[in-house]
Structure 1
Amino acid sequence: MRTDFQDVLVQFDEGVLTVTMNRPHVLNAFSDLMIAELTEIMETAAEDEAIRCVVLTGAGRAFGAGQDLAIFVQERSGDGSEATTEHLQAYHRLIFAIQRLPMPIIAALHGVAAGISLNIALACDLRIAADNARFTEAFARIGLVPDGGGAYFLPRLLGAGKALELALLTTEITGPEAERLGLISKCVPIAEFEAAVTALARRLAQGPTRTYALIKDLFAQAQDKDLAAVLQLEGTFQAKAIGTADHQEGVQAFLQKRPPQYTGK
């Protein structure tokens, strides 16, 4: 993977790819370039077996303030509907790239995560936040509907009622409150944030990543199926899991009372 990006920083260490949105002067608000660079990184990471976990975070004081409105207004100066469609398609490609990653992806959240930045975080598998984090579906404040999958992810995480409340009222939620509601996996003190993210990422990177890919695929396919179909699907995926080297290693490690050494195979 190349590293000469302009609006994004990448770092690889011990199987973990850390992807940092790097526009701190505007609280990492999205530019067209940052969307394109993030998409390239996610699509490339999906094909790289050396990458066993991805962390998505933001530089400076925030995870992300949403769309850069100065750029958004400029794009709509001509044909507004056509420009909006193209703009959203770029976000959609990024969201699909995140969702299709075979390895786990963690959103590491500090400071504000607003609008599309929040919804990009919701597309990730796990979310860990510092206690200074603030979350808001800010779209209605400027007369827009939530995009970037907000209407898909929020109700599934919070339930329809609470999701609609957040979208209509643009209520700001703190890190501890987000953990209580189930919007994030864990909230930690800001002083412990970096260490907590590193520990979680390394734990996942050392795990049975082939199994993780199967679990992600199973859960994604199960969302729109009835119980009978899901049970049948489980059998198909379990047969694949039993055939992995990681399953064999996990069983042997259990029987031999030692830590497993997973290879992602």
Structure 2
Amino acid sequence: MTAFANIMYTVEDGVAVLTLNRPETLNSFTVAMHEEVRVAMNDARTNPEVRCLLITGAGRGFCAGQDLNDRTVQSDAGPLDLGESVEKYYNPFVRSIMTLDKPVLCAVNGVAAGAGASIALACDIVLAARSAKFVQVFCKIGLIPDSGGTWNLPRALGLPRAKGLALLGDKLPAEQAENWGMIWRCVDDDALMSETMELARYLATQPTRGLAETKRLLNESFSTPMHQQMENEKYAMRRLGQSHDYREGVAAFLDKRPPVFRGD
């Protein structure tokens, strides 16, 4: 496994764990960190041993977004092309999460701010520590919620709440995020990793192809007409009906035994 300086990455029991590991900066992103994340995400995509991915942060924060010290930003300097940074680094990371053909869990262990909040919302299932907070800080520095933030936030919360958070930059506590339906579950701080790992290990034993198709169709449903969505469901069912795991699931049901899914 590649040695990393800014992240940790492990694979065990079918679960890949990607830990953002710059705790002294609340795991804010630098170019070097982006490059390491890209390597880890490529392994999660191509490694047949990986059937579920868990993303979390080291220390007291999940991710504070961009490390501004990694950019030269001066009020009297020339224009800075932030779009290049988004295009080259943040967008590929978010796309790799949302298109990964395996479930992606997120354990938000502390503050998720800026792009950190957007990255968390790009994951399929989000659990957050009770002390965690989500903050759309972009408005405080004259920017917009990037990294898919303007797409995922209103879909998770509805437009009125999304606008309130994005325009005001208020901190959203994890418990309220759960009550609003933005995340799957808020748990006690000391139980976050154990509960998330338990869920990840469970998903790693399930029919991975079926979960991947479900994820894809749900993500596409917001921009697909109903008749086309039903056609897409038909094609997915046709493919999955020929899979090993479908046959195994039916056989296990008829035999009254637990299924043993292979992920194919």
- Structure 2 spans left out of the alignment, 5+ residues: none
Which deviations, in whole Å up to 9, do the C-alpha atoms of 1:147-193 show, x marking residues without a partner? 11110000111111110110001111111111111111111111211
**Amino acid of the residue matched to residue 87 of structure 1?**
S
Q: Could you tell me which residue of structure 1 aligns to residue 236 of structure 2?
A: 237
Q: CA deviation at 1:80?
A: 3.0
Which deviations, in whole Å up to 9, do the C-alpha atoms of 1:109-150 show, x marking residues without a partner? 011110100101111111011111111101111221111111
Q: CA deviation at 1:51?
A: 0.2
Equivalent pairs: percent with the same residue?
37
- 1:158-173 equivalences under 5 Å are 158-173=157-172
**Amino acid of the residue matched to residue 130 of structure 2?**
D
TM-score by length of 1: 0.95
TM-score by length of 2: 0.95
Which deviations, in whole Å up to 9, do the C-alpha atoms of 1:20-60 show, x marking residues without a partner? 00000111111111112112211232111110000000001
Counterparts of 2:79 and 2:126 in 1: how far apart (Å)? 34
Q: Could you tell me which residue of structure 2 aligns to residue 117 of structure 1?
A: 116
Q: Could you tell me which residue of structure 1 aligns to residue 39 of structure 2?
A: 40
Distance 1:256 1:61, change over 3 A: same
Which deviations, in whole Å up to 9, do the C-alpha atoms of 1:70-120 show, x marking residues without a partner? 2234599965343x2221111111111111211111111011110100101
Counterparts of 2:93 and 2:78 in 1: how far apart (Å)? 23
Does the CA contact (< 8 Å) of 1:3 and 1:9 recur in 2?
A: no
Q: Could you tell me which residue of structure 1 aligns to residue 13 of structure 2?
A: 14
**Amino acid of the residue matched to residue 101 of structure 1?**
L
Q: CA deviation at 1:215?
A: 1.2
User: Do structure 1's residue 52 and structure 2's residue 54 form an aligned pair?
Assistant: no
User: Do structure 1's residue 184 and structure 2's residue 190 form an aligned pair?
Assistant: no
**Amino acid of the residue matched to residue 86 of structure 1?**
E
Structure 1 SS opposite 2:223:
coil
User: Do structure 1's residue 139 and structure 2's residue 138 form an aligned pair?
Assistant: yes
Distance 1:248 1:52, change over 3 A: same
Counterparts of 1:11 and 1:43 in 2: how far apart (Å)? 13
Q: Could you tell me which residue of structure 2 aligns to residue 88 of structure 1?
A: 86
- Structure 1 spans left out of the alignment, 5+ residues: none
Counterparts of 1:77 and 1:43 in 2: how far apart (Å)? 39
Does the CA contact (< 8 Å) of 1:46 and 1:100 recur in 2?
A: no
Counterparts of 2:248 and 2:37 in 1: how far apart (Å)? 34
Q: Could you tell me which residue of structure 2 aligns to residue 104 of structure 1?
A: 103
Q: Could you tell me which residue of structure 1 aligns to residue 173 of structure 2?
A: 174
